[in-house]
Structure 1
Amino acid sequence: MAINFADKSVMGLAAEPLMRDLGLTADQFGLAGSIFFLLFGVAGIIVGFLGNRIASTRLLLAMAIAWSVSMGPLLLFPAFTTLLLSRLMLGAAEGPTSPVAGHAIHKWFPESRRSVPTSLIFVGASFGVAISAPLLTFLIQNHGWKSAFWALTIVGAAWATAWLLIGREGPYTTYAAASDLSPGATPAPEEERLPYRKLFRASGWWGPLLALAPGYFAFALFSVWGPSYLGTVLGYSHQSVGLLIGFYGLVAGAAQIGFSWLSGRLIRYEVSTRWARGAYTGVLVAVSGILLIASMAAHRSSASAWLMLVAFGLANSMYTIGYLLVSEVSPVRQRSAMLSSFNSAMTAGAVVAPFITGLLVQQATNPTEGYRTAFLLAGALLLVGGLTSAWLTNPVRDARRLGLRSDDAPAPTPKPATDPS
């Protein structure tokens, strides 16, 4: 996931030299950012359904190899068309990564112990950005933008080699085996397939989508245009921009761990997942929207940059809880497809976010106002989506209606404070 998100972010970090060398306008660069997501969701759904039948470890290996191969067209024949082709291929290869990784992780832990392990997947993404942004910026400044793309190609291939040797499947292969949220309840003894129309009606699937889809819209906007905004509008140097993007990654990573840990503790202390996952996610996403709107109110001041970075980091720290909500309402044999369809729907807005921002910047009389309009739009979507999600998401009711749990028995007795888990 660290490599995955570094691949996503590198184009934004290389924006100025890439646009200059390839002769790109702002709307062309925005189109290149958006095309990454054109097949992102489609590939996610296709591979997600394959993940119901094929081992997660094999799928992750194939995807990582494809990441490295996708860099080839741009590196060998740098032009606008090969940039589009390269980003299109990379998006298709990376689209299924998060849900397949989540499905794989959930095979290793029971339901009540999944919060922190799942958060570590996305911490990889956040800390990957935090670590790679300064390093890739250094390579771009001192050795040109191609050096950063070559570095990611090599690292992706190295990871695939290591994964071939160590990747394994976990033991929790049915919903009943991993279900320990309500020990007095009776999970279905047989792993039955349910109609997807019933599964997709569960608020544990579409509820977090209302909050996290705006979050990913904001991420796509920021990953492509954030570095340019910090440099051209707020006046930070290239080196400072790399460090600021690294700070954003640290915020997102720390929030992933902290908020996931707190959610897990609330659940083990008898707080329903209706509140400890559903309302919890929506409220925190709404707070990120408020912070982003506030950052635009403090426009062009130093507070603007810090508020914006915290807002984007917080908005992208709740994917863990979203995945846990979807898993809670999914039979294991259908979980890969449920997670992948959720991820594809969640990331759909990323197809248009960079392009819309590019158009706003290109057509505004003052580019600064174009950036400001785009960020305010993202903030409003986060606020409205988060509050609506907090109000409507109820996975406990969903699991009972689907027959995955038969009653609302009490949650597990809290573990002693000395419990190492």
Structure 2
Amino acid sequence: MTAAETQAGRPARADQAAKASGARAWTVTALLVVFMMINFADKSVFGLAADEIRADLGLTATQFGLANSAFFLLFSVAAVAVGLLADRTSLKWLILIMALLWSVAQVPAAVGGGLAVLIGSRIVLGAAEGPAFPVAQQAAFSWFPNHKRNLPGALVTLGVTLGVIIAAPTLTWLIDNHGWRSALWALAAVGLVWGVAWLAFGAIGQYRDERPAPTAAVREAAVQDGPAPSYRRIFGSRTWIGVTIAYFTSYWGVALMLVWLPSYLKNGLGYSSGTAGTLVAVPWAIGAVVLLVQAAVTGRLMRRGVPSRWARGRVGAGLLIIGALSFLGLPLVDGDAPKTVLLFIGFAFGGAFASVAATTVAELAPPRRRGGALGTMNAVVTTAGLLAPTVVGAMVDAQGRAGYQNAALATAALLLAGAVAAAVLIDPERDAARVAS
């Protein structure tokens, strides 16, 4: 073989390797989308079965809210612990272990028992699911450089939405026809099947490796990494503080949507169980469109050289403002249909900040601190899930139907505060330089 032939063969092999890597990247991303779909199907099942569970176990709204809040008791602690661990160990095995634990955690409540078993199983499930979102984002980001992360980050976040869209009618049918415990068995089975698929096809990409082979793409990642700063410098940055505040307010709305939206539709707005089970998917579907549009807008702005304080911070603030204004319009309209439309828009836009949060923190934190930064943010943010279900349950017990609308108005106030924090504090380019200096 001549030297010319050898040189000609190298680009061809390089192109083949690049295509194979690209296909593997999107295969892994697709698996992580399904991973998040299962994660949020697990979260949504109690909201879909709220009336059935309360009737079966004789629970007040406050007690039912407490059982859902129990899900988040160890959620935040686990998110921090596993997020830090994710910086030092195999993401593939962490993700597999989490998925298997989800399935196991469903079994006690599926077998039987009362409020204590319900709370115990939700605590275990919450501990296993707490790290899911930041670890899944980190695994997806490991296949893409910073300027290409908006789409995979949005798709993994989209898994949250798709999980509820697909699970809501399916689980509602199971609950109505076979009882609420049958839905738990179904979720346990799906989790096991996904674990087998991940074991076979899951992998972590080159942009996560700290000591990679000297390819051009990996050298780019190494330059982005640099010396690892302390977590204190990251957590003390205005960007991390601002994105965490904004995401907290967004997650408050997500927690309400998961736990209380089906009951709001049935008991607050008068829809039947079957109709509510179908309608509950609508704000998630709208949210999916919002996520994809946000990712497209943010990606286009960044490719045109717009600073990320605008492309991520201000775009994210705009989502929260639209959500807040929609909730604030509830008392101003008459009729269940207009209220339903405003409610859905409020939840869809208000809950769409997750992708902005993940990509912003990934830009701020270097790879060797990314897992801890994402995990700790998620831990702080998800305390909203610990508080919101119980607070709203108490409002419903005390105020009846009006409690649902007042909970939406309180969420509007939180979203406005989050929008201010996002617009004023988020500037990852500025703060990444300060953290690395």
Q: Is the 8 A contact 2:312 2:356 kept in 1?
A: yes
Matching residue of 1:233? 268
Cα 1:175–1:110 shift into 2, 3 Å? farther
Q: CA contact under 8 A between 1:174 and 1:331: conserved in structure 2?
A: no
The separation in 2 between residues aligned to 1:175 and 1:306, in whole angstroms, is: 48
Does the CA-based 8 Å contact 1:99-1:340 persist in structure 2?
yes
Q: Does 1:382 align with 2:426?
A: no
Of 82, 105, 110, 1:75 maps to: 110
One-letter code of the match for 1:318?
F
The runs of at least 4 aligned residues of structure 1 exceeding 4 Å deviation read: 174-177, 185-190
Moved more, 113-122 or 165-174: 165-174
How many angstroms apart in 2 are the aligned matches of 1:251 and 1:302? 16
Change (3 A) 1:238 1:189: closer
State how 1:7-26 maps to structure 2 within 5 Å.
7-26=42-61
2:141 counterpart residue number: 106
Pick the aligned partner of 1:86 from 121, 131, 149. Answer: 121
Cα drift, residue 190 of structure 1: 6.6
CA shift, 1:51, in A, is 0.2
SS of the residue corresponding to residue 271 of structure 1 reads coil
Please name the residue that 1:357 is paired with.
392
Secondary structure, aligned partner of 1:402: helix
Match of 1:313 in 2: 348
The question of whether the paired residues in 2 share the 8 Å contact of 1:292 and 1:376 is answered with yes
Q: 1:373 aligned to 388, 406, 426, which one?
A: 406
Task: From the superposition, tell whether residues 157 and 230 of structure 1 become closer, same or farther in structure 2 (CA, over 3 Å).
Answer: same
CA distance in 1, matches of 2:358, 2:284: 20
Distance between the aligned counterparts of 1:253 and 1:122, measured in 2?
9
Structure 1 residues 176 and 401, CA gap change in structure 2 (3 angstroms): farther
Alpha-carbon separation, structure 2, partners of 1:141 and 1:310: 27
8 Å CA contact 2:323–2:347 kept in 1: the answer is yes
The corresponding residue for 1:123 is 158
Amino acid at match of 2:231: Y
Q: Give the distance between the partners of 1:362 and 1:143, measured in 2 at CA.
A: 28
2:436 corresponds to 1:403: yes
Q: Are 1:244 and 2:279 an aligned pair? A: yes
Normalization by structure 1: what TM-score? Answer: 0.90
1:113 and 1:132 mapped to 2: Cα distance?
Answer: 30
Give the corresponding residue for 1:294.
Answer: 329
Q: Would the aligned equivalents of 2:70 and 2:386 in 1 still touch at CA under 8 Å?
A: yes
Match of 1:347 among 375, 379, 382: 382
Deviations 1:286-326 (A, max 9, x none): 22111112134336531111111121111222211111110
- AA of the residue aligned to 1:340: G
Could you tell me how far apart the structure 1 residues matched to 2:362 and 2:91 are?
A: 16
Q: Distance in 2 between matches of 1:127 and 1:136?
A: 14
1:362-387 residue CA offsets vs partner (Å, 9 max, x unmatched): 122xx012112211111110012212
Shift of 1:188: 4.9
Structure 1 residue 173, shift from structure 2 partner: 2.6
Alignment of 1:8-47 (within 5 A): 8-47=43-82
Q: Report sequence identity in percent.
A: 39
The aligned amino acid for 2:252 is F
Contact 1:202 1:398 in 2 (8 A): yes
Q: 1:45 & 1:186 partners in 2: Cα distance?
A: 24
Bigger mean CA deviation after superposition, 380-389 or 98-107: 380-389
The change in CA–CA distance for 1:193 and 1:65 in structure 2 (over 3 A counts) is same
After TM superposition, list the pairs within 5 Å mapping 1:57-206 onto structure 2: 57-173=92-208, 188=223, 191-206=226-241
Checking the alignment, whether the CA contact within 8 Å between 1:175 and 1:191 is kept in structure 2 is: no
Deviations 1:50-106 (A, max 9, x none): 100111111110000000110111112221100001111111110000000011111
- Please state how far the C-alpha of 1:175 moved relative to its aligned partner: 8.7
Paired amino acid for 1:194: P
The one-letter code sitting in structure 2 at the alignment partner of 1:234 is L
Q: State how far apart, in whole Å, the 2-side matches of 1:154 and 1:370 are.
A: 36
* Deviation for aligned residue 1:189: 7.6
Mark the CA change 1:190 to 1:103 in structure 2 (over 3 Å): closer, same or farther: closer
Between the aligned partners of 2:126 and 2:80, the Cα distance in structure 1 is: 13
Q: Is 1:331 aligned with 2:366? A: yes
Give the drift of 1:25.
Answer: 1.1
Query: What's the TM-score once normalised by structure 2's chain length?
Result: 0.87
Contact persistence 1:176–1:188 (CA under 8 A): no
More divergent stretch after superposition (248-257 vs 40-49): 248-257
8 Å CA contact retained: 1:191, 1:333: no
Per-residue deviation, residues 128-159 of structure 1 (Å, max 9, x unmatched): 11111011111111111111111111001110
Deviations along 1:332-359, whole A, 9 cap, x unmatched?
0111011000111111121110001111
- Higher mean displacement: 293-302 or 60-69: 293-302
Q: Distance in 2 between matches of 1:137 and 1:196?
A: 43
Give the Cα–Cα distance (whole angstroms) in 1 for the partners of residues 301 and 308 of structure 2. Answer: 9
State the distance in 2 between where 1:256 and 1:104 align. Answer: 19
1:269 shift after superposition: 0.8
Q: How far apart are the structure 1 equivalents of 2:404 and 2:166? A: 26
